[in-house]
């Protein structure tokens, strides 16, 4: 199995996986085709704000999952912040260490950055995986406001 940057040719397969991911209990919002396409477009462009990755089967070349990062600056910590926005693995790719490999990649690529992610409290397995990777729960509620 291999991790590589997302490319335009991955769009259709990543869209399929996003539809599954965003309709699961792992995510609070359902997203939309417009949002999914916008996310992929940002990830495959030269944007300084987003990066996309795909997990591939080395032998067959098929996509086994995807991940997306968002870059920002944390005034709370005074450093570059890398948000792990999405990490999704197809059922057959789970439990094989791919998520750990991805977290190692993020740590290696951005060793001086704060790494953040969100998880649904009900997604106990994911929370335990994240904690095993050194993530800690934040002691506050995050709020948001949509643009006009």
Q: What is the number of alpha carbons within 13 Å of residue 10 lying toward its C-beta?
A: 26
Backbone angles phi, psi at 111, to 5 degrees: -70, -25
For the question of whether the overall pTM of this predicted structure is more than 0.85, the answer is: yes
Structure tokens that stand for 65 in this block: 């999952």
Checking 59-68 for CB contacts under 8 A at 24+ apart, the result is 63/10, 63/13, 63/14, 63/17, 64/1, 64/89, 64/90, 64/92, 64/93, 64/98, 65/17, 65/89, 65/90, 65/93, 65/98, 66/6, 66/10, 66/14, 66/17, 66/18, 67/102, 68/6, 68/39, 68/43
Q: Which of 48-52, 58-62, 116-120 has the highest mean pLDDT?
A: 48-52
pLDDT, tens digit, 9 for 90 and up, residues 14-49: 999 999 999 987 777 888 999 999 999 999 999 999
For the residues 61-84, what does the mean pLDDT come to?
Answer: 96
- Tell me how far apart the terminal alpha carbons of the chain are, to the nearest angstrom: 42
Tell whether the model's pLDDT for residue 144 goes beyond 90.
Answer: no
């Amino acid at each position: 199995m291999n991790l590589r940057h997302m490319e335009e040719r991955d769009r259709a397969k990543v869209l399929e996986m996003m539809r599954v991911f965003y309709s699961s209990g792992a995510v609070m919002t359902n997203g939309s085709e417009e949002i999914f396409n916008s996310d992929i477009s940002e990830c495959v462009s030269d944007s300084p704000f987003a990066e996309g990755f795909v997990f591939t089967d080395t032998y067959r070349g098929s996509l086994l999952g995807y991940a997306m990062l968002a870059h920002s600056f944390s005034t709370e910590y005074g450093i570059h912040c890398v948000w792990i926005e999405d990490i999704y693995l197809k059922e057959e790719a789970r439990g094989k260490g791919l998520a750990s490999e991805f977290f190692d990649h993020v740590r290696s690529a951005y060793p001086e950055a704060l790494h953040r992610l969100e998880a649904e409290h009900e997604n106990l397995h994911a929370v335990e995986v994240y904690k095993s990777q050194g993530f800690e729960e934040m002691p506050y509620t995050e709020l948001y406001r949509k643009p006009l």
